[in-house]
Amino acid sequence: MNARSKSAEDKARIPVGVWTEWPVGARWANEGMTRLLGFMIEGVAKGKTYTFHIVMPEGVRAEARNDLASLQAVEGVDYVLHSPSPELGLAADDFEGQARFANAHVKVEGWIVLFPYFRHALLLDAPVATIFPDGIPVAFPVPDAGAWGPNGYHLRWRQQVQTLLDGSDCVVTFSNHVANEQAGRLFGVAREKIHVVPHAPPNLSHLAPYARQGWTVASRSAAAELLRSHAHERGWTQLADFPFEEIDYVAVSTQDRVTKNIRLAAEAVRMLVRDERRNLKLFMTAPLHFGATWTPLPNQLEHDLMVGDVVSMTDLPREVHAAFYHCAALAVHPSIFEGGLGPFPFYEAVSVSTPCLMADGPHLRELVADEPQLAAFTFDPNDSRKLRDLILSTLEDRDAALAVQKACLERIADYGWSEVAAAYSAAAVAGKVAR
């Protein structure tokens, strides 16, 4: 393509905004929604119809740019980052000012709002399509007075979400179970206002070229070198020379939240290590918050003296995250609920040749309805013994489990991220309704 035709193609693309309100100190990398954004940007790059214009506070711009640079997409063509310049003198949390900046300087046909509590999106001039991943704080309330007391953090969350959903031109969910049971039943969103856009299966294979021949001695060694190098860079001295390729480990890639149920995976590993005498560890991407009362995991690890067997590796860059999956003997996703059609860790792990075991829930039932062979790799999210047994049986015939899951993934992959990105963009530019 010559420079002239490339320029014409870029000018023909439809500009779509992505609105974020990242507070000071918030994490960008490896959050579910920022990973979703990355996959959609890669879909935009393939579809060549839209350009995403992402508005964010200046304080998160450097981290976001570094993360998005690893995508199969081109900054300035497939996506553009926008932040109010420091000269404007806006405070880091002045999202009203950020909205004024966006209206004045970011010309788009419509906005995709990345989280349903980014309520200042209602100050934007163009139509607004709000992503509603789930209503977990309402559907799965935590027993914390700080959450539901006067001015409680979950009470504020619910009020902010309700305001944004009511004022949005449309609402996007990942699945029918969220559209019906949470957006509709819990928040009163009219069904005709909801666009159900299932996510395509994430594929990490381009980040792990060493995995193309499967799970081999050479591929595990290559992945392990990446993990050790990253551990050295982060100052994780206990992992900088760890033999990841020689020790079987279970990979758990999720945050420690009320529905994620990581303690069940830890309990299953405890039984395998202590009762079955298996040389096994659990590596997870969730941070450990010792002393926290909202999660049982840290106290459980301290009580069981499992801190050396369950190890946290947080904020992994995308290529290291792919290595984290590939080097693992298997992945486990113990979450009792996800907003999408099946969990991201299943698609991600299998794409780099690692089988995944998944807790049952509405997200799994909606997926298993189309792919019934996956039912053999699910477990009751309250039954650590069933998970223990399933880990053992999968380790005994890992290749067979992976073959079944890869065949399922290949069928699912007929629906790609270019279609997802186009559906989100179409929802954003569909037209304004009265607010």
pLDDT of residue 435: 34
Confidence of residue 330 (pLDDT cuts 50, 70, 90): very high
The mean per-residue pLDDT over the stretch 186-193 comes to: 95
Q: How far is CA 262 from CA 250, 313, 317, in A?
A: 12, 14, 21
What residue spans in the chain does CATH classification 3.40.50.2000 cover? Answer: 9-200+417-428, 205-412
Confidence of residue 4 (pLDDT cuts 50, 70, 90): very low
How much is the mean pLDDT over the chain?
Answer: 91
pLDDT of residue 10: 55
**CATH homologous superfamily of 9-200+417-428:** Glycogen Phosphorylase B; (3.40.50.2000)
The mean per-residue pLDDT over the stretch 353-361 comes to: 96
Confidence of residue 9 (pLDDT cuts 50, 70, 90): low
The mean per-residue pLDDT over the stretch 101-123 comes to: 96
Residue (of 337, 334, 352, 371) closest to 203 by Cα position: 352
The long-range contacts involving 207-216, CB below 8 angstroms and separated by at least 24 positions, are: 207/70, 207/318, 207/319, 207/321, 207/322, 207/352, 208/319, 208/322, 208/323, 208/325, 208/326, 208/352, 210/326, 211/322, 211/326, 211/352, 211/353, 214/353, 215/326, 215/353, 215/354, 215/398, 215/402
pLDDT of 398 strictly over 80: yes
Whole-model pTM? Answer: 0.80
pLDDT of 432 strictly over 60: no
pLDDT of residue 28: 78
Confidence of residue 140 (pLDDT cuts 50, 70, 90): confident
pLDDT of residue 91: 81
d(CA 254, CA 363): 16
The mean per-residue pLDDT over the stretch 351-376 comes to: 93
pLDDT of residue 30: 63
* pLDDT, tens digit, 9 for 90 and up, residues 204-238: 999 999 999 899 999 999 999 999 999 999 999 99
pLDDT of 32 strictly over 80: no
Q: What CATH number belongs to 205-412?
A: 3.40.50.2000
pLDDT of residue 372: 95
Cβ atoms of residues 17 and 51 within 8 Å: no
Lowest mean pLDDT among 27-36, 247-256, 285-294, 415-424: 27-36
